[in-house]
Amino acid sequence: MRFTDKNDLIGVFRIMTNSDCDKRTVILDAALQLFSENGFHGTPMTLLAEKANVGIGTIYRYFKNKEEVISNLYKELKSESVAAMRENISRDMPIREQFINIFENMLKYYIANPQKFLFMEQYSYSPFINSSTKQEVCSAYAESLVSFFEYGKKHQVIKDLSTQIIFATANGQVVSLAKMHIAGEINLNDDMIRKAIETSWDALKR
Protein backbone atom coordinates (compact mmCIF):
# COMPACT_ATOMS: atom_id res chain seq x y z
CA MET A 1 0.00 0.00 0.00
CA ARG A 2 0.94 3.61 0.18
CA PHE A 3 4.07 3.91 -1.98
CA THR A 4 5.28 0.56 -0.69
CA ASP A 5 5.67 -0.79 -4.17
CA LYS A 6 9.42 -0.95 -4.71
CA ASN A 7 9.07 -0.70 -8.45
CA ASP A 8 7.20 2.52 -8.21
CA LEU A 9 7.65 4.40 -11.44
CA ILE A 10 5.59 7.44 -10.75
CA GLY A 11 8.46 9.47 -9.45
CA VAL A 12 7.17 12.52 -11.24
CA PHE A 13 3.98 12.36 -9.32
CA ARG A 14 5.96 12.16 -6.14
CA ILE A 15 7.96 15.20 -6.93
CA MET A 16 4.76 17.09 -7.41
CA THR A 17 3.43 16.22 -4.02
CA ASN A 18 6.82 16.47 -2.46
CA SER A 19 7.24 19.97 -1.18
CA ASP A 20 3.68 20.70 -0.12
CA CYS A 21 3.38 17.13 0.99
CA ASP A 22 4.72 18.34 4.29
CA LYS A 23 3.51 15.43 6.38
CA ARG A 24 2.28 17.63 9.17
CA THR A 25 -0.04 19.44 6.81
CA VAL A 26 -1.24 16.24 5.23
CA ILE A 27 -2.09 14.85 8.63
CA LEU A 28 -3.96 17.96 9.70
CA ASP A 29 -5.90 18.02 6.44
CA ALA A 30 -7.00 14.46 6.91
CA ALA A 31 -7.77 15.17 10.55
CA LEU A 32 -10.05 18.05 9.67
CA GLN A 33 -12.03 15.95 7.29
CA LEU A 34 -12.39 12.97 9.59
CA PHE A 35 -12.98 14.88 12.80
CA SER A 36 -15.65 17.04 11.24
CA GLU A 37 -17.43 14.03 9.84
CA ASN A 38 -17.04 11.46 12.58
CA GLY A 39 -16.04 13.47 15.61
CA PHE A 40 -12.90 13.13 17.69
CA HIS A 41 -13.95 9.88 19.24
CA GLY A 42 -15.23 8.49 16.00
CA THR A 43 -11.82 8.87 14.43
CA PRO A 44 -9.22 6.32 15.49
CA MET A 45 -5.62 7.21 14.87
CA THR A 46 -5.32 4.28 12.50
CA LEU A 47 -8.03 5.75 10.30
CA LEU A 48 -6.33 9.12 10.39
CA ALA A 49 -3.06 7.53 9.32
CA GLU A 50 -4.77 5.72 6.49
CA LYS A 51 -6.57 8.83 5.26
CA ALA A 52 -3.36 10.85 5.43
CA ASN A 53 -1.40 8.13 3.66
CA VAL A 54 1.20 7.90 6.36
CA GLY A 55 2.12 5.29 8.92
CA ILE A 56 0.67 5.69 12.38
CA GLY A 57 4.12 6.15 13.79
CA THR A 58 4.53 9.18 11.58
CA ILE A 59 1.64 10.95 13.24
CA TYR A 60 3.43 10.55 16.53
CA ARG A 61 6.56 12.13 15.10
CA TYR A 62 4.63 15.31 14.47
CA PHE A 63 2.20 15.29 17.38
CA LYS A 64 2.72 14.03 20.89
CA ASN A 65 -0.66 12.38 21.03
CA LYS A 66 -4.18 12.56 19.68
CA GLU A 67 -5.10 15.56 21.76
CA GLU A 68 -2.22 17.51 20.27
CA VAL A 69 -3.44 16.75 16.78
CA ILE A 70 -6.80 18.18 17.75
CA SER A 71 -5.53 21.26 19.53
CA ASN A 72 -2.98 22.07 16.85
CA LEU A 73 -5.65 21.81 14.22
CA TYR A 74 -7.87 24.07 16.27
CA LYS A 75 -5.17 26.69 16.66
CA GLU A 76 -4.47 26.79 12.95
CA LEU A 77 -8.10 27.02 11.99
CA LYS A 78 -8.85 29.70 14.53
CA SER A 79 -6.01 31.83 13.20
CA GLU A 80 -7.25 31.31 9.69
CA SER A 81 -10.79 32.29 10.62
CA VAL A 82 -9.60 35.40 12.42
CA ALA A 83 -7.66 36.37 9.32
CA ALA A 84 -10.73 35.79 7.18
CA MET A 85 -12.83 37.96 9.46
CA ARG A 86 -10.41 40.85 9.06
CA GLU A 87 -10.37 40.97 5.29
CA ASN A 88 -11.38 44.21 3.62
CA ILE A 89 -11.63 46.00 6.90
CA SER A 90 -9.93 49.28 7.59
CA ARG A 91 -10.21 51.76 10.39
CA ASP A 92 -11.20 54.44 7.92
CA MET A 93 -14.48 52.82 7.01
CA PRO A 94 -17.65 53.86 8.71
CA ILE A 95 -18.30 51.72 11.74
CA ARG A 96 -21.49 50.30 10.29
CA GLU A 97 -19.65 49.18 7.19
CA GLN A 98 -16.89 47.64 9.24
CA PHE A 99 -19.46 45.78 11.31
CA ILE A 100 -21.26 44.45 8.31
CA ASN A 101 -18.06 43.42 6.58
CA ILE A 102 -16.68 41.67 9.64
CA PHE A 103 -19.72 39.51 10.19
CA GLU A 104 -20.31 38.90 6.52
CA ASN A 105 -16.72 37.74 6.26
CA MET A 106 -17.24 35.45 9.14
CA LEU A 107 -20.48 33.92 7.99
CA LYS A 108 -19.20 33.50 4.48
CA TYR A 109 -16.05 31.86 5.78
CA TYR A 110 -18.08 29.41 7.81
CA ILE A 111 -20.32 28.58 4.90
CA ALA A 112 -17.41 28.18 2.52
CA ASN A 113 -15.61 25.98 5.03
CA PRO A 114 -18.26 23.88 6.69
CA GLN A 115 -15.79 21.28 7.94
CA LYS A 116 -13.70 23.93 9.62
CA PHE A 117 -16.76 25.47 11.20
CA LEU A 118 -18.09 22.16 12.46
CA PHE A 119 -14.72 21.16 13.81
CA MET A 120 -14.29 24.41 15.71
CA GLU A 121 -17.75 24.27 17.21
CA GLN A 122 -17.32 20.64 18.17
CA TYR A 123 -14.04 21.54 19.78
CA SER A 124 -15.44 24.44 21.68
CA TYR A 125 -18.10 22.26 23.27
CA SER A 126 -15.96 19.28 23.97
CA PRO A 127 -15.40 18.77 27.69
CA PHE A 128 -12.56 16.56 26.57
CA ILE A 129 -10.39 19.49 25.68
CA ASN A 130 -7.70 21.15 27.65
CA SER A 131 -9.27 24.53 28.15
CA SER A 132 -5.94 26.35 28.21
CA THR A 133 -5.64 25.92 24.47
CA LYS A 134 -9.14 27.23 24.03
CA GLN A 135 -8.43 30.34 26.07
CA GLU A 136 -5.05 30.95 24.52
CA VAL A 137 -6.37 30.98 21.01
CA CYS A 138 -9.73 32.60 21.44
CA SER A 139 -8.33 35.74 22.91
CA ALA A 140 -6.94 36.97 19.59
CA TYR A 141 -10.38 36.69 18.11
CA ALA A 142 -12.28 38.17 21.00
CA GLU A 143 -9.88 41.02 21.70
CA SER A 144 -9.98 42.22 18.21
CA LEU A 145 -13.77 42.45 18.31
CA VAL A 146 -13.89 43.85 21.79
CA SER A 147 -11.82 46.86 20.85
CA PHE A 148 -13.94 47.40 17.77
CA PHE A 149 -17.17 47.37 19.78
CA GLU A 150 -15.71 49.68 22.39
CA TYR A 151 -14.66 52.08 19.67
CA GLY A 152 -18.21 51.98 18.33
CA LYS A 153 -19.70 52.63 21.74
CA LYS A 154 -17.35 55.55 22.38
CA HIS A 155 -18.40 57.14 19.12
CA GLN A 156 -22.02 56.64 20.09
CA VAL A 157 -22.76 54.57 17.03
CA ILE A 158 -23.26 51.35 18.94
CA LYS A 159 -25.62 51.02 21.90
CA ASP A 160 -24.21 51.41 25.35
CA LEU A 161 -24.51 47.75 26.28
CA SER A 162 -22.05 45.42 27.91
CA THR A 163 -19.51 44.48 25.26
CA GLN A 164 -20.19 40.81 25.92
CA ILE A 165 -23.85 41.26 25.12
CA ILE A 166 -22.97 43.01 21.90
CA PHE A 167 -20.58 40.25 21.02
CA ALA A 168 -23.10 37.53 21.83
CA THR A 169 -25.76 39.20 19.73
CA ALA A 170 -23.72 39.51 16.57
CA ASN A 171 -21.63 36.41 16.91
CA GLY A 172 -24.51 34.24 18.10
CA GLN A 173 -26.56 35.06 15.04
CA VAL A 174 -23.74 34.24 12.68
CA VAL A 175 -22.92 30.95 14.37
CA SER A 176 -26.57 30.00 14.45
CA LEU A 177 -27.02 30.79 10.78
CA ALA A 178 -23.92 28.88 9.77
CA LYS A 179 -25.07 25.88 11.72
CA MET A 180 -28.49 25.94 10.09
CA HIS A 181 -27.08 26.47 6.63
CA ILE A 182 -24.70 23.56 6.96
CA ALA A 183 -27.46 21.37 8.38
CA GLY A 184 -29.53 22.24 5.31
CA GLU A 185 -32.22 23.97 7.31
CA ILE A 186 -31.71 27.16 5.39
CA ASN A 187 -30.00 27.98 2.13
CA LEU A 188 -28.18 31.26 2.48
CA ASN A 189 -27.23 33.38 -0.51
CA ASP A 190 -25.33 36.68 -0.56
CA ASP A 191 -28.50 38.69 -0.36
CA MET A 192 -29.82 36.82 2.65
CA ILE A 193 -26.48 37.06 4.37
CA ARG A 194 -26.41 40.78 3.87
CA LYS A 195 -29.96 41.15 5.19
CA ALA A 196 -29.20 39.00 8.19
CA ILE A 197 -26.16 41.01 9.17
CA GLU A 198 -28.04 44.27 8.66
CA THR A 199 -30.65 42.91 11.01
CA SER A 200 -27.96 42.30 13.53
CA TRP A 201 -26.79 45.85 13.07
CA ASP A 202 -30.30 47.09 13.74
CA ALA A 203 -30.04 45.38 17.10
CA LEU A 204 -26.84 47.09 18.06
CA LYS A 205 -26.85 50.49 16.39
CA ARG A 206 -27.78 53.48 18.43
Partner DNA sequence: AATGAATGAGACTTCATTCAT
Partner DNA sequence: TATGAATGAAGTCTCATTCAT
Binding site for its own copies (CB under 8 A): 36-42, 118, 121-122, 125-128, 159, 161-162, 164-165, 167-169, 171-177, 180, 185-186, 192, 195-196, 199-200, 202-204
Report the amino acid identity of residue 142. A
* Binding partner selected for residue 2 from its own copies, DNA, none, CB under the kind-specific 5 to 8 Å limit: DNA
In the complex, minimum distance from the CB of residue 87 to its own copies, in angstroms, rounded to a whole number: 22
In the complex, minimum distance from the CB of residue 123 to its own copies, in angstroms, rounded to a whole number: 9
* Binding partner selected for residue 199 from its own copies, DNA, none, CB under the kind-specific 5 to 8 Å limit: its own copies
Name the nearest CA neighbour of 166 among 204, 127, 130, 138.
Answer: 204
Three-state SS annotation for 134-158: HHHHHHHHHHHHHHHHHHHHHCCCE
Q: Which stretch binds DNA (CB under 7 A): 1-9, 138-146, 154-162, 179-187?
A: 1-9
Task: Give whichever of 53 and 173 is closer to its own copies, judged by the CB atom.
Answer: 173
- Interface residue with DNA among 29, 33, 51, 67 (CB under 7 A) is 67
Could you write out the DSSP letters of every residue in 32-64?
A: HHHHHHH-STT--HHHHHHHHTS-HHHHHHH-S
- Interface residue with DNA among 54, 145, 158, 188 (CB under 7 A) is 54
Assess contact for 78 and 136: CB atoms under 8 A.
no
* Binding partner selected for residue 173 from its own copies, DNA, none, CB under the kind-specific 5 to 8 Å limit: its own copies
Name the nearest CA neighbour of 51 among 21, 26, 18.
Answer: 26
Backbone angles phi, psi at 10, to 5 degrees: -90, 45
Q: Does 60 bind DNA (CB under 7 A)?
A: yes
In the complex, minimum distance from the CB of residue 121 to its own copies, in angstroms, rounded to a whole number: 5
What is the Cα–Cα distance from 143 to 152, expressed in whole angstroms? 14
Task: Give whichever of 4 and 189 is closer to DNA, judged by the CB atom.
Answer: 4
Q: Does 23 bind DNA (CB under 7 A)?
A: yes
Residues 70-99 that bind DNA (CB under 7 A): none
What is the Cα–Cα distance from 51 to 46, expressed in whole angstroms? 9
